[in-house]
Structure 1
Amino acid sequence: MPYLKLAYASPAAVATADLAATLTGLTVDLLGKKRELTVVAIEPLPVSGWFVGGAALEAGESGAVLEIRITEGTNTKAQKAAFIRAAFDALATALPRLNPASYVTLHEPPADAWGYSGKTQEYRFIRSQIL
C-alpha cells in the first residue's frame, strides 16, 4: 500500500499520467507492492520557486523530490537501493536537465502507524495469520 508523492519544477510540459504509470510500475516490480493499492500524487511547482543551495535553477533545468511510504521492514536494502536508482533515472528521463540535487526518499512507518480503509497494516497482518 505504497503512497508516492512527487513534487517537481520543470521548464517543459511533463506527461504526468505517464510518469505516474512509470513510478507505479517500478513500485510493483522492484518493491513487490500491489498495483491496485499504489497511490501516486504529483505536484508541479513553478521553476521560479525551486532553489538548490540557495540559488535558482539554471535556465532549462528541472528539480524534483519523490517521497514514498512503505511499511517498515517489508523490503530489503538492495530492493530499496534499486528502487531509488530506477526512480531517479525515470525522473531524469521525464524532466529535462534534472538537477543532481533531486531526491528519492523512502519513509517506512511502522505497521501499527498507518493503513488504508480504516485498518492498520498491523491489523491486516495479524488477521492474515492462522492462530
Structure 2
Amino acid sequence: MPFARLTLTSIPTLDQANHLATELTELIAHDLGKRQELTSILVETSGISHWAIGAEGRLTAAHLEVCVTAGTNSEQEKRAFIANAMTILRTVLPGLNPATYVVIRELPATDWGYDGRTQADRAMDRIHGTALIGQEKS
C-alpha cells in the first residue's frame, strides 16, 4: 500500500499527470512488488514561484517520494526503482536536471496504516491466518 508524492515546478497537463500517475503506479508494482490497485499517487505542483538547484532557478524540476513499509524491499529492488523512475520523469519532463531526487521512505509498520489499521496489525492477521480477502502484503 505505497503512497507516492510527485512534486513538480509547474502544473502538468491532464495527459501528463495521468501518464505520470499510470507509469509510476505500474513501476511501483513491478519494481517494488506492491499491489497496483492499492497504490496511491499524488501529482502536485510545488506551490512556489521559484525552484532552484545550485542556486540557479529551474523551470523544470521534480521530486518523487514513495512511502513503503520498512523492510519490504531489497536494495536491488530500490536501486532499480530509482533508476527506472528517473527514466520516466525524464521522458515526460524534458530538460529535467540530474539533481532530481527520487526517495523511498521506509516507515515502520507500526507508524502507518491502511483502512484504519496499522501495517503491523495487518501483518499479524496474515501470520495468524485472519487477513481479510483483498488486503495487500506490506
Q: TM-score scaled to structure 2, two decimals?
A: 0.86
Contact 1:2 1:38 in 2 (8 A): yes
Counting aligned pairs with the same residue, the percent is 40
Q: Where does structure 1 lack aligned partners over 5 or more consecutive residues? A: none
Distance 2:43 2:18 in 1: 9
Relative distance call for 1:71 and 1:87 in structure 2 (3 A) is same
Distance 1:108 1:119 in 2: 17
Q: Does 1:118 align with 2:119?
A: no
Q: Which 10-residue stretch deviates more, 4-13 or 64-73? A: 4-13
Counterpart residue number, 2:24: 23
Match of 1:78 in 2: 76
**Total equivalences in the alignment:** 128
Cα distance, 1:10 vs. partner? 4.7
Contact 1:84 1:104 in 2 (8 A): yes
TM-score of the aligned structures, taking structure 1 as reference length: 0.90
Equivalent position of 1:101 in the other structure: 99
TM-aligned CA deviation for residue 45 of structure 1: 3.7
Letter paired with 1:95: L
Which is worse superposed, 11-20 or 22-31? 11-20
Deviations 1:54-106 (A, max 9, x none): 2212xxx5111000000000000000000000001100000010011111000
SS of corresponding position for 2:24: helix
AA partner of residue 90 (structure 1): I
AA aligned opposite 2:3 = Y
Give the alignment of 1:35-50 within 5 angstroms.
35-45=36-46, 48-50=49-51
Instruction: Point out where structure 2 has 5 or more consecutive residues left out of the alignment.
Output: 130-138
Give the whole-Å Cα distance in 2 for the aligned partners of 1:99 and 1:10.
14
Task: Return structure 1 stretches of 4+ with deviation > 3 angstroms.
Answer: 10-14, 45-48
Aligned to 1:40, the other structure's residue is in SS state: strand
Partner of 1:56: 57
Q: In 2 relative to 1, CA 2–65 (structure 1 residues): closer, same or farther, beyond 3 Å?
A: same
